[in-house]
Structure 1
Amino acid sequence: MENIHYLDNSATTQVLEEAAQAALRLMRQDYGNPSALHAMGKQAREAMEQARGQVAGAMGCKAEQVIFTSCGTESINTAIQSAARKGKAFGRHIVSTQIEHKATLDTLKALEQEGFQVTLVPPEKDGTVSCDRVLEAVRPDTILLTMMEVNSETGAILPTAAAMEKAKEKAPHCLCHIDGVQAYCKLPISLGGVDFLSVSGHKIGAMKGVGALYCKDLRSLRPLLHGGGQEGNRRSGTEGMPQIVSMGVASALRAEKREESQRHMAALRQSLIEGLSAMPCPVRINSPQNGAAHILNISPEKGRSEVLLRVLSDEGVYVSGGSACARGRRSHVLEAMKLPAAAIDAALRVSFCPENTQEDVKAFLAGLQKALGFFL
């Protein structure tokens, strides 16, 4: 396909060429089962451990603290449920925010059915979360604080480092989890005070079907899956080697050029913001001014997102109306921010990757101008 302007990189990314080639090698050449004792099994194990080291390097932790999973959702589920099971002898109170991904919110709902108490801190009007309000919610019997590093819809950066270090002072048995899916290899993530960090491969140019979980103390981990005892009896199931090696390669490449990529995407974001002034109607910016460089959420004064998306798609421009996991439902993040209903229904999320260019921004602005013309 020609003239593709893909600006939905918070939903998923194109697999990097180097990552695809590494995956192909594990599918066609070194395709042994890493649990096997023969030479091909040994080759696969070595490839897996190399990938584990690459992910650990990007996270800033030891390789033995990294567990491979099938996706960010599995990592999040494992972390939250592990913390709840480990901490329930000391309390049943959990703190999070109203703007978390559904992987977090729905897991917390399930724990509420088991008798856990959950406090969800609301966002500020600009989509950020107040560290003070998070800490006000923490109690002596709080056993888990779970927050995302970067909001997937608005790009708001949450105060994880400050909140988690101070939370442990108020709640001595509190474990802390970061959903780092939208921040991994894009922003520095401090592991000080963090017990679990969940990340995903397909958000950084790796294949779908692989994620990773940092666990500060492996004794805190409670496996979700039981069976063959892979990953040191912490995550059973034959490892998806092509996906794992693709994540290792992508992690190494993205981490090496993280700062350069951030500057590039920040410039694209700024160009987009400046270009919105030429639209035929006012456009509201829903993202905070100091949000992550790779995400911008906007709401034109006219139109509805499903129509705008269709016109943009016909022009070869691909963005989303919010989180891809929401599947057309009204954004719970924008609702929590108390945006007007019309702004929520018109919301568009533009999300960049390092390979995007100014031409992509120009194509989006031209497509949006055309789409808005149908409502004027």
Structure 2
Amino acid sequence: MSDPIYLDHNATTPVAPEVLDAMLPWLRGEYGNPSSAHPYGQRAAQAMAAARGQVAGLIGAAAQEIVFTGCATEANNLALLGVARALGVEKRHLVVSAVEHPAVMAPAMHLRSLGWDVTVLPVDAFGRVSVDDVGRALRPDTALVSVMHANNEVGTLQPVAAIAALTRPRGILLHTDAAQSAGKLRVDVDELGVDLLTLAGHKFNAPKGVGALYARAGTPIRAVMHGADQEHGLRPGTENVALIVALGAAAALASASLPDLTPKLLALRDRLHARLGAGVPGLQLNGHPQHRLPNTLHVSFPGVSGRALLADAAATLAASVGSACHSEHDAVSGVLAAMGIDTARALGAVRLSVGRTTRVDDIDRAVAALVSAWSGLARA
């Protein structure tokens, strides 16, 4: 039996062949510690410097503003907790949205347990934060606003640039988690106006276990782990050169292919939506109809459980009911609850996400399997 069609690219992506080729030498003959002064270490340091430039190029940053981490969760923790360590004496107010990934919400709640005042902003029925709500939440003691660029479940894009227009004149730092958007659409730190931005390598065809934090030059931030002074003193520990090289190669691939990739993803997503809508009367879109990721389709199938639907179609299709980081049990997603979606609609929800390797015939076969599974379950 062949593997099922993979429509879960928001959970993780396959490693691109170009990325694997770039990293393999650093798993074979090249093993130097980049902090060593001899030729082995110098070659490793040079490879890391090249990767830093490639990652910076993907988001319009300077190379020295990139901090390599082990994942996006670590980058988010460094952003929130690192700013808190730098500003916590004078400013102890944090603003986040209600639909943040646990990698942001958990450190935010940790700060609350330490006495920080944390404002959690509501979202509308599309999962989008109101810029006016952000403005009303800002205070003289606000240290940081953290609002994700794109939601990992429904794909809704947040008005980050408009939020920056409120925070920057007040001297308030702005962080965005761009784990889901980078590599799928244009992400530029100056256009967004952010001070901090999180990247996840495995969301754009690098391996798992590597990420990065963009920290704009001059941003007050301190390390949250203790050790040596690698990564500008913000992330101690010997760097994983092979994975960092892979992240750089993935960033370079994304930079070169985005003009063609983004419209391809959009066309595949819209074909999937149109054909499912024709085959499933009452199918409902969750998330913003325009302001969303080009690859993400989050829909509710009427009268059935999304989990049961995917189980029935599992021989043909691999997808998910929501974030891969959340519970495997039938429960209303926190994101959908924040959007005000009722229980029946939420339990019928499925997240379908296409990627670089998705083909048109994959879409058509997936639609046939989903429509067939829905028809059988709805009649039962």
Q: TM-score range by the shorter chain?
A: over 0.9
Is the counterpart of residue 103 in structure 1 residue 111 in structure 2? no
Q: Secondary structure at the match of 2:147?
A: strand
| Structure-2 change in CA distance of 1:219 and 1:100 (3 Å) | closer
Output the TM-score relative to the length of structure 1: 0.95
Matched residues in 2 for 1:280 and 1:154: separation? Answer: 19
Matching residue of 2:207: 207
Instruction: List alignment gaps of at least 5 residues for structure 1.
Output: none
Alignment of 1:186-197 (within 5 A): 186-192=184-190, 193-197=193-197
Matched residues in 2 for 1:367 and 1:129: separation? Answer: 35
Please tell me whether the aligned partners of residues 161 and 191 of structure 1 are also in contact (alpha carbons under 8 angstroms): no
Matched residues in 2 for 1:263 and 1:68: separation? Answer: 29
Q: Secondary structure at the match of 1:145?
A: strand
Q: Secondary structure at the match of 1:178?
A: strand
Matching residue of 1:325: 325
Of 284-293 and 181-190, more deviation after overlay is shown by 181-190
Alignment of 1:201-280 (within 5 A): 201-217=201-217, 220-280=220-280
**What are the superposed Cα offsets for residues 196-224 of structure 1, whole Å, 9 maximum, x if unpaired?**
11111000000100000111135622112
Instruction: List alignment gaps of at least 5 residues for structure 2.
Output: none
Please tell me whether the aligned partners of residues 6 and 318 of structure 2 are also in contact (alpha carbons under 8 angstroms): yes
Q: Secondary structure at the match of 2:104?
A: helix
| Structure-2 change in CA distance of 1:43 and 1:190 (3 Å) | closer
Please tell me whether the aligned partners of residues 98 and 333 of structure 1 are also in contact (alpha carbons under 8 angstroms): yes
Matched residues in 1 for 2:14 and 2:272: separation? Answer: 22
Residue type at the aligned position of 2:256: E
Residue type at the aligned position of 1:352: V
Matching residue of 1:374: 377
Matching residue of 2:295: 294
Residue type at the aligned position of 1:370: S
| Structure-2 change in CA distance of 1:128 and 1:324 (3 Å) | same
Q: Secondary structure at the match of 1:296?
A: strand
- Which of 355, 358, 361 aligns to 1:359? It is 361
Of 74-83 and 321-330, more deviation after overlay is shown by 321-330
Please tell me whether the aligned partners of residues 11 and 323 of structure 2 are also in contact (alpha carbons under 8 angstroms): yes
Matching residue of 1:163: 163
Matched residues in 2 for 1:239 and 1:280: separation? Answer: 49
Residue type at the aligned position of 1:292: L
Is the counterpart of residue 145 in structure 1 residue 145 in structure 2? yes
Of 351-360 and 95-104, more deviation after overlay is shown by 351-360
Matching residue of 1:181: 179
Report the number of matched residues. 373
Residue type at the aligned position of 2:184: K
Matching residue of 1:337: 339
Please tell me whether the aligned partners of residues 281 and 302 of structure 1 are also in contact (alpha carbons under 8 angstroms): no
Of 320-329 and 50-59, more deviation after overlay is shown by 320-329
Q: Secondary structure at the match of 2:120?
A: strand
Following superposition, the deviation at residue 191 of structure 1 comes to: 2.2
Following superposition, the deviation at residue 168 of structure 1 comes to: 2.9
Of 349-358 and 10-19, more deviation after overlay is shown by 349-358
Matched residues in 2 for 1:49 and 1:313: separation? Answer: 43
Following superposition, the deviation at residue 3 of structure 1 comes to: 5.1
Q: Secondary structure at the match of 2:27?
A: helix
Alignment of 1:307-322 (within 5 A): 307-315=308-316, 317-322=317-322
Matched residues in 1 for 2:277 and 2:201: separation? Answer: 35
Of 59-68 and 222-231, more deviation after overlay is shown by 222-231
Matched residues in 2 for 1:139 and 1:233: separation? Answer: 30
Following superposition, the deviation at residue 157 of structure 1 comes to: 0.6
Following superposition, the deviation at residue 299 of structure 1 comes to: 0.6
Matched residues in 2 for 1:250 and 1:278: separation? Answer: 36
Matched residues in 1 for 2:103 and 2:23: separation? Answer: 27
Q: Secondary structure at the match of 2:153?
A: coil
Q: Secondary structure at the match of 2:2?
A: coil
Runs of 4+ deviating beyond 6 Å: none
Following superposition, the deviation at residue 102 of structure 1 comes to: 0.6
Residue type at the aligned position of 2:180: Q
Is the counterpart of residue 48 in structure 1 residue 53 in structure 2? no
Following superposition, the deviation at residue 280 of structure 1 comes to: 4.3
**What are the superposed Cα offsets for residues 287-311 of structure 1, whole Å, 9 maximum, x if unpaired?**
2111111111001002112211212
Following superposition, the deviation at residue 371 of structure 1 comes to: 1.4
Matched residues in 1 for 2:248 and 2:188: separation? Answer: 20
Matched residues in 1 for 2:278 and 2:61: separation? Answer: 46
Output the TM-score relative to the length of structure 2: 0.94
